[in-house]
């Protein structure tokens, strides 16, 4: 994983729930490409829904991995549902609230609620919901030896995980 779509962890109920936050800023390059100014009007910078889905997948993936103390490789297996009702613009924050619905040796299913915080109004508004299934790739039947550097729990997540597991620093 090369990109982090969460900034910090707000709440953690072990084996149940993880809440993370992402602040959306005009300093992020991808914001300016969605949507650029054109002949039909001025620029309308937005956080793409696909990146909000990735932020939820990262949040839920950390939650699933934490259940077994990050001893197994966790990969996103399927997005069974994702809906987004509103856009998120620079100056707002996104909250990812992930819950484990089922967990077994093969993997886990999670549900999530995505909310946006408008700092001007001071109100959180639900903007989306997800259902995501994860697989414990170490338990797969393919026999493939998959490289560690391709997984979420690599070096890029050490600062995020230190918020979740401060005793491990």
DSSP 76-131: EEEEEEEEE-S---TTEEEEEEEEEEEE-SSEEEEEEEEEEEETTTTEEEEEEEEE
Tokens at 80, concatenated:
């069974």
Average pLDDT, the chain: 83
pLDDT at 154: 54
125-167 confidence digits (pLDDT tens): 999 999 999 998 766 555 455 555 545 555 555 566 666 655 4
pLDDT at 17: 98
Percent of the chain with pLDDT over 90: 51
Q: What share of the chain is helix, strand, coil (3-state, %, to 5)?
A: 25, 40, 35
pTM of the prediction?
0.82
Active site residues: 34
pLDDT at 67: 93
Which domains does the chain possess?
Answer: 8-168 (3.10.129.10)
pLDDT (tens place) for every residue of the chain, 169 residues total:
357 899 999 999 999 999 999 999 988 877 767 777 778 877 788 899 999 999 999 999 999 999 988 888 888 999 999 999 999 999 999 999 999 999 998 889 999 999 999 888 899 999 999 999 999 876 655 545 555 554 555 555 556 666 665 544 4
CA 21, distance to chain mean position in Å, is 9
- Nearest by Cα to 89 from 21, 8, 27, 31: 31
* C-alpha distance from residue 166 to each of 72, 145, 159, 161 (Å): 20, 31, 10, 8
pLDDT at 119: 84
């Amino acid at each position: 994983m090369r990109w982090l779509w969460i900034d910090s962890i707000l709440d953690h109920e072990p084996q149940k729930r993880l809440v993370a936050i992402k602040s959306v800023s005009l300093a992020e390059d991808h914001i300016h490409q969605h949507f650029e100014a054109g002949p039909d009007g001025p620029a309308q910078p937005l956080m793409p829904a696909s990146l909000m889905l990735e932020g939820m997948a990262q949040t839920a993936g950390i939650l699933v991995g934490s259940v077994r103390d990050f001893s197994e490789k966790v990969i996103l297996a399927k997005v069974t549902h994702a809906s987004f009702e509103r856009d998120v613009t620079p100056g707002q924050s996104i909250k990812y609230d992930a819950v484990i619905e089922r967990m077994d040796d093969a993997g886990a299913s999670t549900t999530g609620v995505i909310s946006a915080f408008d700092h001007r109004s001071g109100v959180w508004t639900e903007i989306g919901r997800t259902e995501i299934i994860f697989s414990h790739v170490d338990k797969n039947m393919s026999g493939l030896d998959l490289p560690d550097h391709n997984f979420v729990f690599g070096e890029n997540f050490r600062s995020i995980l230190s918020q979740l597991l401060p005793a491990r620093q």
